[in-house]
Amino acid sequence: MGTPVHFRFSFRGVFLNTPEEWSFGLHYKRDNPADDDAHVGDINVGNVNDALAAFIQHSGSASFQPNVKATEWRAYEIGPDGKMENNPLLVDVTADNLVGIASLKYPPQCSIVATFVAANRGPARFGRIYLPPLGTSVGTDLRLSDGDAGEIRESVTDFVKAVADSIDLELTTSSELLNISEKPAPDGHKQTVDHIEVGRVYDTMRSRRRSMVEDRNVGGHIDW
C-alpha cells in the first residue's frame, strides 16, 4: 500500500516513578517540487529541542504534570512504499530534564486530545494526538473551560509550527504539518493541516496503563 513521501516524528517520554511511557507522532512535508527532497540531515536538532522544551515546560493552563518527562524524539524519512528510508535521526533529551511544572492530578491514562483538521473533506482530513496528562482542572460539568482548551490549543500550535520551521526545505519557506492516509488510493493521501481543535473532555488511553500493577488493598475475612 502506498504512502505519500513525508517525515514522521515520534516524541517520547516517561511518567516518573512508574514503569509507564507516553508518545505521540507527527507527520511533516519533506517532498520539494522545486529542489531535492529533504532528509533528516536538513532538520535543525537544536531548534526541535528548544520547541520540545517550551512545549513540555509551558506554564499556565497548558502545563503538563510534574511526572511527565520527555526522554527522546526521532525523525524518519518515509518513502512512497510507507517504509523508512535511510537511517533515522535519534535524539536523546533525557539529560535536559524536560519535566512538566503543573500539579499532579490525574493518572497516566488520562489525556486531552488535539485534533488536526485539513481543509478538504475525504481521506486525510483528520489526524490527532493524545497528549500526556496536563494539570488542567475540570469544571462542574467535568470538562475543561473553553479558555483552558484555547490555551492548550495555542501551545500545541506553537509546538508543531516550531518543529515545521526547523525543517529546511530549499527554495521554500518551511515544512508543513500533514495528515497522512494510506488508503484508498494506491499512492495514499496527504493534506496540509489547516487548524487545530482541542477537546474539552479528558479521554482515556489504555496503553498508558499496562505496566502498573493494580496493587490491591486486601481486607480481612468478613464475618457475615
pLDDT in tens, the chain (224 residues): 678 899 999 999 999 999 999 999 999 999 888 888 899 999 999 999 999 999 999 999 999 999 999 999 999 999 888 889 999 999 999 999 999 999 999 999 999 999 999 999 988 899 999 999 999 999 999 999 999 999 999 999 999 999 999 998 887 777 999 999 877 666 789 999 999 999 999 999 888 888 888 888 899 999 99
Q: Is residue 116 part of a domain?
A: yes
Q: Is residue 215 part of a domain?
A: no
Q: What's the predicted TM-score (pTM) here?
A: 0.92
Q: Is residue 160 part of a domain?
A: yes
Q: Is residue 88 part of a domain?
A: yes
Q: Is residue 1 part of a domain?
A: no
Q: Is residue 79 part of a domain?
A: yes
SS (H, E, C) the chain: CCCCCEEEEEEEEEECCCCCEEEEEEEECCCCCCCCCCCHHHECHHHHHHHHHHHHCCCCCCCECCCEEEEEEEEEEECCCCCEEEEEEEEECHHHCEECCCCCCCCCCEECEEEEEECCCCCCCEEEEECCCECCCCCCCCCCCHHHHHHHHHHHHHHHHHHHHCECCCCCCCCCEEEEECCCCCCCEEEEEEEEEECCCCEECHHHCCCCCCCCCCCCCCCC
- Dihedral sign for Cα 52, 58, 64, 66, please: positive
Q: Is residue 53 part of a domain?
A: yes
Determine the structural domain holding residue 156 and report its residue range: 6-208
Number of domains within the chain: 1
Instruction: At 17, give phi and psi (nearest 5°).
Output: 70, 15
